[in-house]
Amino acid sequence: MRVVLLHTLLVSILLHQTLAMLSPVDFLALQSIRKSLQDMPGSHYFASWDFTADPCNFAGVYCSGDRVIALNLGDPRAGSPGLSGHLDPSIGKLTSLAEFTMVPGRVMGILPPAISQLKNLRFIALSRNFFSGEIPAGLGEIRGLRTLDLSYNQFTGNIPWSIGSLPALSNVILSHNRLNGSIPRFGSSSLTRLDLKHNDLSGPIMQDFLPPSVQYLSLSWNRFSGPVDRVLSRLTRLNYLDLSLNRFSGNIPGILFTFPLSNLQLQRNFFTGPVQPVDQVRIATVDLSFNRFSGQISPLFSSVQTLYLNNNRFMGEVPSTFVDRLLDASIQILYLQHNYLTGISLNPTVEIPVQSSICLQYNCMVPPVTMPCPLKAGNQKTRPTGQCIEWKG
Ligand SMILES: *[C@@H]1O[C@H](CO)[C@@H](O)[C@H](O)[C@H]1NC(C)=O
């Protein structure tokens, strides 16, 4: 009888092990990860994490064979408060992991360098937590990495050069951190999205630093400098470009306006020279404000719905095509204030459609119509004549 009982016990232990299947290494790693994280009040993510049962059935744990292949930490439902604590270095033991995500929360501390042991990782997204310290350079050893989203954290230091050389990178989202230094050369021919906005990055963007595959590029709110005409001329697939709030200088190539852009944000830089599109501009929103652009305003811009050319050094007459488009309400915003413009053929008695705004304040003319300008335009209708003479000459 005792022998039979023992036998049954042994069989059930063996059976349990073959059913649970998860490798002991992954089992222990999940236990350590669990110990270093907590649900925030109102989150119940770890309720299903009972280590007497099969971890492959835990919320956010996905297995293939005896290995964890995806780990989605935290309750992904909208409004869930997320997790707190820190990420245990044993994450590096889950070497079959292809996808690793964490919901927004208050997870702090470093991203353990052991993460670079996850050689099968393709997707990592840890956005909107409180990770700090440097981005581990070892991420640059994960050759298959496609998506790297560490946005809205507190990472400091440089973007490791090694990350730029990853061959399969497609999405790099490092916005809203405290990264500094210059950017690496991105070599992946499948890079489509590069979002580095809101950091402390600086230096020039070299001509071959961004591959022509890039469609979404935001470098806004940094301290980048130098010319971009050459690098931009190669990025013919851009559909979103935001270089605003940097120290970029030099000219903007006219060919840029033929790219399939829906949004072009170049405001608040030190760009100079005339802006000469090569064809009618089909971009819905163009913001060139607060630069040092000069010369005449090209009539090819009159097809833009929302156009900010204010606070530059544009001169001459506003082309009449703008007036036509304004009056048939195909222009929504036309900001021309704070330039050196000398005229616009707008009959003072015409009615500007209510959907359209035009601001002409502080130019070398008396605005023919009074329109509400943004508060920042000040209340001086006209530029002092002394400033206008040299431009007229
Ligand atoms: C980046 O910031 C660190 C401090 O976080 C500083 O020591 C370092 O000199 C900075 N590097 C650059 C290139 O600005």
Q: Given CA atoms 95, 74, 65, 31 in this order, what sign does their dihedral have?
A: positive
pTM of the model: 0.91
**Burial classification of residue 294, based on how many CB atoms lie within 10 Å of its CB (0-12 exposed, 13-18 middle, 19 or more buried):** middle
In contact, 332 and 356? CB cutoff 8 Å = yes
Q: What is the mean pLDDT of each run of 10 residues along the chain (393 residues)?
A: 51 50 95 98 95 95 96 92 97 98 97 97 98 98 98 98 97 98 96 98 95 98 97 96 98 96 97 96 97 97 96 96 90 95 86 87 88 82 84 44
Instruction: Give the number of residues written for the chain.
Output: 393
226 CA to centre of ligand 1 in angstroms: 20
Cα 138 from Cα 19, distance rounded (Å): 35
Cα 112 from Cα 135, distance rounded (Å): 9
Q: pLDDT value at position 377?
A: 82
Q: For residue 314, what are the β-bridge partners? A: 295
Q: pLDDT value at position 390?
A: 58
DSSP label of 179: E
DSSP H or E stretch at residue 29: helix 24-35
Q: Whose CA is nearest to atom 12 of ligand 1?
A: 181
Q: 3-class DSSP state for residue 172? A: strand
In contact, 125 and 60? CB cutoff 8 Å = no
Q: pLDDT value at position 15?
A: 47
156 CA to centre of ligand 1 in angstroms: 8
Q: pLDDT value at position 8?
A: 53
141 CA to centre of ligand 1 in angstroms: 24
345 CA to centre of ligand 1 in angstroms: 53
Buried b (16+ CB within 10 A) or exposed e, 12-42: eeeeeeeeebbbebbbebbeebbebbbbbee
Q: Whose CA is nearest to atom 3 of ligand 1?
A: 157
Q: pLDDT value at position 260?
A: 96
Q: pLDDT value at position 7?
A: 57
Cα 271 from Cα 251, distance rounded (Å): 6
Q: pLDDT value at position 352?
A: 84
Q: pLDDT value at position 20?
A: 52
Radius of gyration from C-alpha coordinates of the chain: 28
In contact, 276 and 231? CB cutoff 8 Å = no
Six-digit token string for 253? 């190539």
